[in-house]
Amino acid sequence: MLTQQEPTPTTPGMTFDQMLERVRYEGAYPTRDRAEDTVRAVLAALGRQITGDERVDLAACLPLEAARAFTSQIPATQPLTGWGFVKDLAARIGGTPATTRWDTGAVLNVVSRLAGPDLVDRILAQLPAGYGLLFGRAELTRAA
């Protein structure tokens, strides 16, 4: 018997609705609207941090609505550390750092699957310390 497989987060051409459902599941959000608000806020904040080819390449990996939220922001002149990113986003959305860290992880985990490991490596190389954990990766530090 043939069954239709549900698209995975790495499926090219993932729709925005599929992305929202994946984030809703990962973040355990009670409604689609809550997941959508979270996706838009996190992607807009991320859009203030990423520049250059990585910005263009990441936008190309995202569903159109997500790419619009991501590219709607002008990159900051001084990128924030990972913790600074979470604190800034918490202040903008009126959340706590703990819940904002959860929200960020739920969204960026899906984004990292859409982008693939090579692009995520390039993005993390561009950003200050602290973003690895937000993208669901171990944060390795170098010995002095």
Question: pLDDT per residue over 70-111, tens digit each?
Answer: 999 999 999 999 999 999 999 999 999 999 999 999 999 999
Q: Say if CB 66 and CB 36 are below 8 A apart.
A: no
In a domain, 144, yes or no: no
Mean pLDDT within 4-30: 77
Cβ neighbours for 79, distance < 8 A, ≥ 6 positions apart: 49, 127, 128
Domain count for the chain, please give it: 1
In a domain, 79, yes or no: yes
Mean pLDDT within 5-12: 43
CATH number at residue 115: 1.10.490.110
In a domain, 20, yes or no: yes
Distance, CA of 85 to CA of 57 (rounded, Å): 21
In a domain, 141, yes or no: no
In a domain, 97, yes or no: yes
In a domain, 75, yes or no: yes
Domain range enclosing 97? 16-126
Higher pLDDT, 106 or 142: 106
In a domain, 134, yes or no: no
In a domain, 132, yes or no: no
Tell me phi and psi for residue 45, to 5 degrees: -65, -40
Q: Residue 121 pLDDT > 50, yes or no?
A: yes
Kindly report the CA angle at 135 between 134 and 140, in degrees rounded to 5?
80
